[in-house]
Amino acid sequence: MACCWTAGALSLQAQRPARQPRPAPANLPEANPYSSAADLEAGRRLYMGRCGHCHGQTGEGGRGSVLNTGRFHHGDSDRELFLVIRNGIPNTEMPGAFNLSEAELWRVVAWVRQLSRQGASDPITGDASAGAIVYQKNACSQCHTINGQGGFLGPDLTDIGAKRAVRHLRESLLDPSADIPLDYRPVALITAAGKGTSGIHLNEDEYSIHLRDLSGNLRSFLKSELTDIKLPRQSVMPAYPSLSKAELENLVAYLDSLRPNR
Amino acid sequence: MKWLLVTAALTLAAVARGQSRTPQGLPVTYERLLQATQEPGNWLMYGGDYRSHHYSSLNQITVDNAHRLRARWIYQMHRPKVETTPIVVDGIMYVTRPPSDVIALDAETGRALWTFEYRLSARVYTCCGEVNRGLAILGSTLFITTLDARLIALDARSGRLLWKREMADPALNYSATAAPLAIKDKVIAGIAGAEGGIRGFLDAYDAKTGERAWRFWTVPAPGEPGSQTWGGDSWRHGGASTWTTGSYDPELNLVYWGTGNPGPDYNGDVRPGDNLYSCSLLALDPDTGKLKWHFQFTPHDTRDWDATQVPVLLDASLGGRPRKLVVVPSRNGFYYVLDRQTGEFLLAKPFVKQTWAKEIDKKGRPVLNPGQEPTPEGNDSIWPGVDGGNNWMSPSYNPNTRMLYFNAREERRRFFKTDAPEFRPGESFFGGGGGGGARFRPEESWGKLIAMTPETGEIQWEHRILSPPWAGALATAGNLVFSATPSGNFYALDARTGKELWRFNGGDRVFASPITFLSRGKQLITIPIGDLLIAFGLD
């Protein structure tokens, strides 16, 4: 019998437990064993045909979640990514790719990693320890956090080397408005009294908008009390064109060295 | 004597408020379904009545007192993406929850009376979540399609299974999500799975025995009419699913049902031709399944613009001549008016920004703009987006204001195509994609509720909302329109002006349509918000 029913007692109508994901295959490695250039290309083709419909051609998201930030809410190790792709996510729209072979699944994992890195890695030419000094000298920690130390206006950089390609790190320093992370979009408001407020956009619906101002205060506004709402295309992070080429490359090398200790 | 007088007074009050009948409970006969509008205290089918007006003549909740609406009860679904439209029969609400469960609730308290919990027979490929949109009732039997492509019949009194029939093999990527439609002694049921490379169909089953009465293949086989619109063997995985409930005209004895996209979705190179009957509205004889006429909104679609919108049947004068109309705000961004007797194209007007068609010609065929196809590198110049200007959510027609109300989606999206996919059980059959949500500016992704004169397509007013909606609309004789936003705000507008009168923050996205009914003589309104089914009434 493929179905059942319960009657009467209200206690019997409790929720069904979420479906259990399939167990991991025996000896499933922690790290992706398929990461050659050929594997990446195969993974790209698999991703485009099966995943890009929801997650976007470059992992920018759409029906599915954003995949190019390096943050994965259901586990971000290679092994965890493999299992999420294979099993899907219960009670969400994410289906399991249960018909892909193990090798195909690993190749998709490789391509998803590549999306997170936003491009292939350039060679590192700078010196990371010298870059740490550039980081301190330019007071980057006023806005960014590394290992729990620093400010909150910009993204946490603790694992940034694992999440972003060198090219993207360099671009973020020279032109931070080119690609503003979703969680750090700036917003500028003007109240009915004519007072301006700006900060990082946190939440919004038809009637209200919420931000973290530049002092770190969490602020809420009813739209009926505002005369203007702007979502500037300019990042709150300043560009650093004044860095010498050596300073820039050293800082990029330092950021690239920031990786999780596993 | 005193009791009799009180009863008489209550009855008169009920008549004045729109409850003009004595509760009958079960069975819900076909005759009652034909006269569904005469039972405004109930909600007897997916679209409210056979014309899919999704309208109620209840008038206890009005423009003047809507501000007094309060939450009365909550039923916790504990499931994501609840898209269901319940049925209400004299104080009992029958509601589905994902993937394919049915619950009978006391409509007054929201307490469960019985629960039918369906266990899927197989792992099922789905494109868009394990959803279900509702059920049908005929006699004392409830009908639901299941995610694993079964049609099942339940005893409405107990929730016991009466019969179960396989519509198609879920191992071949078939699934089912639409509420069936009961007509005479049959149950019409649609199929889903075009994103998995199915060949679509619409079925009718004997309501008593579950035997299949007919099948209309929405993708013709070689030699059948329309087969010349498919190249090679592409028809085998041609899609054209039937995943939203249709409408019915008893006088013409025609059932109207929309069909989905062709497969593969975004790479049309392997299926040259118009790809009939994908992205079409079908008019079928419900007794035999014979096609009376069809109208294709988007020939050779490559942007996933299913025509699975709810077709609304209404009569109006057009050019000084009374016409029986069927109207559809299409996913492709144009609003269409057709003669529902003949399928004659009468009118098309864009209701959202659209870039793909120069115009719709006199025969109803789009005149295409260049550069509006998915490309290998990605084409982000196309409006509307992959989810369309409209989608499956119910529109609502108020015969008093003579306006059609529906939610519209203003979106630009990136469309890309890949190599044509090979069909593989358990896998998608996209041939590309239409994602790109995060990269677009707020002004390129927003929504609105539209009030439209249906026979002309003239927009009377719009109610702007922050992001593209997935909720249906409900118009009532209280001169109200109810709908909801993706941010979880359920709201009521003045149906004549669009002025907002009331709102409630439900705190999660809404993928469903509100309905209204009477419970113990009092008008209630329900809508699923997130995984909660919430009932509202006057304080």
Q: What is the pLDDT of residues A119-147, one digit of tens each?
A: 556 788 999 999 999 999 999 999 999 99
Q: What burial class does residue B373 get, using C-beta atoms within 10 Å of its C-beta: 0-12 exposed, 13-18 middle, 19+ buried? A: middle
Vertex B335: Cα angle to B332 and B336 (nearest 5): 105
Tell me the C-alpha distance between A236 and A200, whole Å: 8
Q: Which residues of A touch B426 (CB under 8 A)?
A: 98-99
B524 Cβ contact list (under 8 Å, min separation 6): B72, B107, B516, B517, B518, B535, B536, B537
Q: Is B231 exposed, middle or buried (0-12, 13-18, 19+ CB in 10 A)?
A: middle
Q: Do A206 and B505 touch (CB under 8 A)?
A: no
3-state SS class at A87:
helix
Q: Which of B466, B474, B465 is nearest to B515 (CA)?
A: B474
Which residue in B483, B305, B490, B320 sits closest to B391, CA to CA?
B305
Residue B37 backbone zone (phi > 0: left; psi -120 to 50: alpha; other: beta): alpha
> Which residue in B304, B306, B387, B494 is the catalytic one?
B304
- Average pLDDT of chain A is 83
- Residue B534 pLDDT greater than 70, yes or no: yes
- Residue B7 pLDDT grade (very low, low, confident, very high; cuts 50, 70, 90): very low
Specify the pLDDT at position B437: 55
Which of B375, B377, B440, B466 is best to mutate for the A interface (most A CBs within 10 A)?
B466
**pLDDT band with cut points at 50, 70 and 90 for residue B78:** very high
Contacts of B489 in chain A (CB under 8 A): 205-207
Full DSSP string of B2-28:
HHHHHHHHHHHHHHHTT--S----S-B
Interaxial angle between packed helices A245-257 and A166-174, expressed in degrees from 0 to 180 and rounded to the nearest 10: 130
- With a CB cutoff of 8 Å and minimum separation 6, the contacts of B521 are B10, B13, B14, B17, B19
Question: What is the helix (H) or strand (E) element at residue B458, kind and residue range?
Answer: strand B458-465
Give mean pLDDT, residues B223-233. Answer: 97
Mean pLDDT computed over A202-206: 94
| ipTM of model | 0.84
Residue A4: predicted pLDDT: 29
Separation in Å, CA of A44 to nearest CA in chain B: 10
From chain A, the residues in CB contact with B103 under 8 A are 13
Return the SS3 of B280: strand
Greatest mean pLDDT among A82-91, A184-193, B429-438 lies in: A184-193
Distance of CA A180 to the CA centre of its chain: 11
Q: Compute the distance between CA of residue B279 and CA of residue B295 in angstroms, rounded to an integer.
A: 9
Please give the share of chain A, as a percent, with pLDDT higher than 70.
Answer: 87
Cis amide bond preceding B277, omega within 30: yes
Residues in chain B: 539
Is there a catalytic annotation at residue B304?
A: yes
B64 membership: H or E segment, kind and range? none
Half-sphere exposure of B240 (CA within 13 A, CB side): 31
Cβ count within 10 A of residue B258: 29
Q: Which of A75, A79, A51 is nearest to A65 (CA)?
A: A51
CA dihedral B4, B8, B9, B12 (to 10 degrees): 170
Q: Select the residue from A3, A68, A100, A104 to test the B interface by mutation, using most B Cβ atoms within 10 A.
A: A3
pLDDT of residue A120: 56
Spatial separation of the C-alpha atoms in residues B395 and A20, rounded to whole Å: 38
Tell me whether A56 touches chain B (CB under 8 Å): yes
Q: How many residues are listed for chain A in this entry?
A: 262
CA–CA dist A241, A248 (Å, integer): 9
Largest interatomic CA distance in chain B: 81
Q: Locate tokens 């009961």: which residue? A: B182
Q: What is the pLDDT of residue A146?
A: 95
Structure tokens that stand for B475 in this block: 């118009």
> Which residue is listed with tokens 């115009």?
B359
How far apart CA B85 and CA B94 sit, in angstroms, is 9
From residue A231, alpha-carbon distances to A182, A198, A217, B20 in Å are 12, 10, 19, 53
Cα distance between residue A178 and residue A195, in whole Å: 29
Nearest to A3 among B118, B158, B416 (CB): B118
Contacts of B430 in chain A (CB under 8 A): 49-50, 52-53
Q: What angle in degrees, to the nearest 10, is found between the helix axes of A245-257 and A128-137? A: 110
Residues of chain B with Cβ-Cβ distance to A15 below 8 Å are 76, 78
Place of tokens 């397509």: B457
Share of chain B above pLDDT 90, in %: 88
Give the DSSP H/E element, type plus range, for residue B339.
strand B334-339
Mean local confidence (pLDDT), B460-470: 97
HSE-CB of B186 using CA atoms within 13 angstroms: 19
* Of the partner residues A5, A92, A95, the one whose CB lies closest to the CB of residue B115: A5
**DSSP 3-state of B190:** strand
Q: Is the dihedral of CA A97, A100, A101, A106 positive or negative?
A: negative
Q: Partners of B483 in the beta sheet?
A: B491
pLDDT at B279 over 90: yes
pLDDT at B343 over 50: yes
pLDDT in tens, A163-190: 777 888 898 999 999 888 878 899 999 9
Q: Dump pLDDT digits (tens) for B95-134.
A: 999 999 999 999 999 999 999 999 999 888 888 889 999 9
Residue B271 to residue B227: CA distance in whole angstroms: 11
E strand or H helix at A167, and its extent?
helix A166-174
What tokens appear for A79 in the block? 């092994």
d(CA A148, nearest CA chain B) in Å: 28
Query: Chain B closest CA to A235's CA: distance in Å?
Result: 14
Q: Please state, in angstroms and rounded to a whole number, the distance separating the CA atoms of residues B449 and B484.
A: 9
The region, left, alpha or beta by phi > 0 then psi within -120 to 50, assigned to residue B193 is left
Residue bearing the bigger pLDDT, A161 or B246: B246
